[in-house]
Amino acid sequence: MDYISGQVTRADYISRFRPEYRLHVYAARNLPLEAKILGQFLGDRRYYSQREIVFEDYLLKDLVKKGRSAEAIGNQLAQRGITHLLIRHDLFEKWVGDNFSPAEINVLKDFFGSRIVLLQATAGYALYALR
């Protein structure tokens, strides 16, 4: 009723149920039209995204396992046209702990430290740009 009565904006209403929605709004306003986002642990929800978004959960895992370096991971993502990452961090961190060795976790940490930059974060979700 709050939304219907105008007491709550559409963005606020949607954000109550989809916390990542504000990042989709940010992307629509700030990312180039040709941006391609790799979504991680978003439940394959693409309907709020006004930029191309792909859900290939295996991709980052394969790249970390095969790449062995932050540069290799970044280069492979760029070759696939990926320009941004949108991540749900609680599930992502559990997934990292369950799927990677300590050496692979270090490669992933290096990737986050050197090959991407945080653009916006909200409610446990973050949008990053590839460097």
What sign does the CA torsion over 87, 93, 96, 101 have?
positive
Per-residue confidence (pLDDT) for residue 15, from 0 to 100: 58
Q: 19 φ, ψ to 5°?
A: -60, -25
**Is the pLDDT reported for residue 107 higher than 70?**
yes
Domain ranges of the chain: 10-130
For tokens 């990542």, what's the residue? 20
Question: Does 10-130 carry CATH code 1.10.3210?
Answer: no
**Is the pLDDT reported for residue 9 higher than 90?**
no
The mean predicted confidence, pLDDT, of the chain is: 88
Percent of the chain residues topping a pLDDT of 90: 67
Per-residue confidence (pLDDT) for residue 25, from 0 to 100: 87
Q: pLDDT of 66-102, one tens digit each?
A: 978 999 999 999 999 999 999 999 999 999 999 999 9
pTM for the structure as a whole: 0.85
Per-residue confidence (pLDDT) for residue 47, from 0 to 100: 60
What sign does the CA torsion over 51, 47, 124, 65 have?
negative
Q: Is beta strand 84-88 parallel, antiparallel or unpaired with respect to 36-40?
A: parallel
**Is the pLDDT reported for residue 46 higher than 60?**
no
Per-residue confidence (pLDDT) for residue 67, from 0 to 100: 78
Q: How confident is the model at residue 56 (pLDDT cuts 50, 70, 90)?
A: confident
